[in-house]
Amino acid sequence: MDAGSFRYIFEAGTTAPVGDELGIGEMVAFNGKAYVRSTRIGTPEYYTTMSNTHVRSPAAFAIGPADASPDICAKTSHGGMTFTSAINDMFAEVNSTQKCPGVAFGGLVTFSKFVGVAVAKPTIYGENIFENKSTYFPYPPTELHGVRCMVFGVVADMALAEAEGIEKLDAVLYAGASGAGGSGQKATLTLHAHCVTLRDTCVAKTPQEIQPIDVIDCFHLDASSIVSSFELEVFTIKESCAVELGVEHSIDTCISEPIYGNCSAWNALADAGA
């Protein structure tokens, strides 16, 4: 996928050429760039964040085109809530006026406490990653304080979506991927979001102003994170998600250079919160 064709994309992905799946990891794309936390074990890029103008993904949720207009813009009225509570409140407010079983949301979020996780092994082996946490998430979550992020994700009332005949959401809203790090629970997921952490020097006021130099690392955003403030573009989901099959072609003959950031963050993979 050409990241420049979409406003937001997230799920698993890689910037490697066709045929090389070993780098598939946490991915989010916006402003014409895809950011992937590489899972290519045994190489210098392992668990660093790669960027490229193109991304390949076995399954992704995307908003397009690049200039797509949100249905609603949402802002926090106060901070101190967990990410789960803040997004659930936002969804409840949107649902009360828009009558939709789900929304996609993307924008800038400041966290007083950030908790992020990432797979350490490519998800290409047909295994349940939450039943094999010791190999997919061998390290504790990364915890940061006072950090600003670009976040994109989906929240939905899955029972309502099913009742209204909306399909394909379970490709990104699956059991186990939303919860707090280390909880060990496997409840039905209604929330899933990925993000990149931003440098203190980043002056971007919207995701569309963020440049690769502003980005430190890519994460699955843990639901236990505490929100200080957010400004989100919200897109309502009222029908089944489209399935599009792209034409396979080589994106590049070499792997893009990693973005070097906070080394301490690279050493913290995750217990995904199952």
Q: For the whole model, what pTM was predicted?
A: 0.84
DSSP code of residue 213: G
* DSSP class of 178: S
Phi then psi dihedrals of residue 83, to 5 deg:
-55, -40
Question: 32-71: per-residue pLDDT in tens?
Answer: 999 999 999 999 999 999 999 999 988 889 998 999 999 9
* Domain 3-266 coded CATH 3.20.20.150: no
Question: Quick one: DSSP state of residue 227?
Answer: E
Instruction: Tell me which residue of 51, 50, 57, 52 sits closest to 21, measured CA to CA.
Output: 57
Contact status, residue 238 vs residue 100, Cβ threshold 8 Å: yes
Q: What is the pLDDT of residues 146-199, one digit of tens each?
A: 999 999 999 988 888 888 888 878 777 765 545 433 333 444 447 889 999 999
| Partners of 111 in the β-ladder | 147, 227
Question: In a 3-state reduction of DSSP, which class is residue 45?
Answer: coil
- Domain boundaries defined on the chain: 3-266
SS3 13: strand
